[in-house]
């Protein structure tokens, strides 16, 4: 059987982790062991485990859930994380994130990605971005994305202007449905943003067909949302033991297995799982070290979830 180029790459990383990882723009933080991957457009390296804020940061000010987010963030940065994805349309998520980063003095360590979301027209987009900056208590973000391709041409042009003004370091486009992948592929081929954010998981592997190889070819960094299918994957493995090889791959939970699956695709730069629970944050961060899964291990995971 012939090996695909992507499979050969994964196998080479597994066989020669140091040399192949360096060639692929990967390295690890000496302080935390967290794997870092390169953003192709600049060579900047970011940690492979990021975090989302949809749902998890949509909590009442002063509630027990809000208090837990302090620890979620402290553990995230202590474990080597920095990339945090949010959006002005995730309820109060930007407010909570901005307040907590300011209180904990963590903004300098954070790599914030937000979006222009559900707006039409340049003025509305700009007003929304300025409101995001105010909520996030910052004067710029690291990544600004067009959310779900809404009003794409106008909002992407605005993001490019904001990049030229130093208000965002990177441009991006996002979606979360496989039905959008063909359109997204055409968009990234034409627009060549710095980042693409899409859904990819053990059970939603459509991105492997065209989108991920194309992003790799074009030198576009990729963030993965919904690696847990918004949490639904955990119900599918309830009462199932981890695969026998998990230990040798350094995997001690299903969450780590799902994140390592997404990260073992060579086009993927980082995953952004969302949790409001400190222990789960620590669990997710543990998926950030270790070599890529082999083809055999990936196939076994797909079969186990079936």
Ligand X SMILES: NC(=O)c1ccc[n+]([C@@H]2O[C@H](COP(=O)([O-])OP(=O)(O)OC[C@H]3O[C@@H](n4cnc5c(N)ncnc54)[C@H](OP(=O)(O)O)[C@@H]3O)[C@@H](O)[C@H]2O)c1
Compare residues 191 and 230 and give the one whose CB is closer to ligand X.
230
Closest CA to 61 of 104, 105, 98, 112: 98
- Answer yes or no whether residue 225 interacts with ligand X by CB under 6 A: yes
Among 212, 273, 293, 305, which residue interacts with ligand X (rule: CB under 6 A)?
273
Hey, what are 296's tokens? 């055999």
- Answer yes or no whether residue 135 interacts with ligand X by CB under 6 A: no
Binding piece for ligand X, criterion CB under 6 A, among 31-39, 98-106, 120-128, 273-281: 273-281
Contact 23, 246 (CB under 8 A): no
Compare residues 35 and 275 and give the one whose CB is closer to ligand X.
275
Compare residues 20 and 274 and give the one whose CB is closer to ligand X.
274
Contact 81, 49 (CB under 8 A): yes
Task: Determine how many CB atoms are found less than 10 A away from the CB of residue 17.
Answer: 15
- Answer yes or no whether residue 97 interacts with ligand X by CB under 6 A: no
Among 20, 34, 274, 285, which residue interacts with ligand X (rule: CB under 6 A)?
274
Q: How far is the CB of 216 from ligand X (least distance, A)?
A: 20
- Answer yes or no whether residue 275 interacts with ligand X by CB under 6 A: yes
Residues 6+ apart with CB under 8 A from 144: 113, 114, 115, 116, 129, 159, 162, 163, 167, 168, 170, 171, 172
Pairing relationship of beta strands 45-47 and 83-85 according to DSSP bridges: unpaired
Closest CA to 137 of 169, 94, 180: 94
Binding piece for ligand X, criterion CB under 6 A, among 29-37, 39-47, 184-192, 230-238: 230-238
- Answer yes or no whether residue 228 interacts with ligand X by CB under 6 A: yes
CA distance 219 to 132: 28
Binding site for ligand X (CB under 6 A): 52-56, 85, 147-148, 174-176, 197, 225-231, 234, 255, 272-277, 280, 283-284
């Amino acid at each position: 059987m012939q090996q695909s180029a992507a499979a050969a790459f994964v196998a080479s990383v597994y066989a020669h982790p140091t040399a192949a990882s360096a060639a692929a723009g990967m390295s690890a933080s000496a302080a935390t062991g967290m794997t870092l991957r390169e953003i192709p457009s600049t060579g900047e390296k970011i940690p492979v485990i990021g975090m989302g804020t949809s749902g998890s940061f949509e909590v009442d000010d002063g509630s027990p859930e809000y208090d837990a987010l302090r620890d979620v963030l402290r553990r995230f940065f202590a474990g080597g994380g920095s990339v945090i994805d949010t959006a002005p349309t995730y309820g109060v998520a930007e407010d909570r994130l901005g307040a907590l980063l300011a209180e904990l003095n963590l903004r300098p360590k954070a790599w914030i990605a937000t979006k222009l979301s559900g707006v039409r027209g340049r003025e509305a987009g700009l007003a929304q971005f300025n409101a995001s900056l105010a909520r996030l208590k910052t004067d710029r973000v690291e990544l600004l994305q067009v959310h779900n391709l809404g009003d794409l041409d106008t909002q992407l042009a605005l993001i490019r202007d904001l990049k030229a003004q130093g208000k965002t370091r990177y441009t991006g486009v996002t979606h979360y449905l496989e039905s959008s992948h063909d359109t997204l592929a055409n968009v990234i081929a034409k627009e060549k943003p710095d980042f693409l954010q899409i859904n990819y998981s053990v059970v939603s592997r459509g991105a492997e067909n065209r989108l991920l190889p194309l992003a790799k070819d074009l030198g576009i960094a990729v963030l993965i949302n919904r690696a847990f299918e918004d949490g639904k994957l955990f119900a599918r493995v309830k009462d199932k033991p981890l695969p026998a090889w998990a230990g040798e791959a350094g995997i001690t939970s299903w969450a780590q297995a799902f994140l390592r699956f997404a990260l073992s695709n060579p086009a993927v730069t980082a995953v952004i799982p969302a949790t409001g629970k400190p222990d789960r944050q620590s669990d997710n961060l543990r998926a950030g070290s270790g070599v890529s899964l082999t083809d055999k291990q990936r196939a076994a995971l797909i079969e186990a979830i079936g």
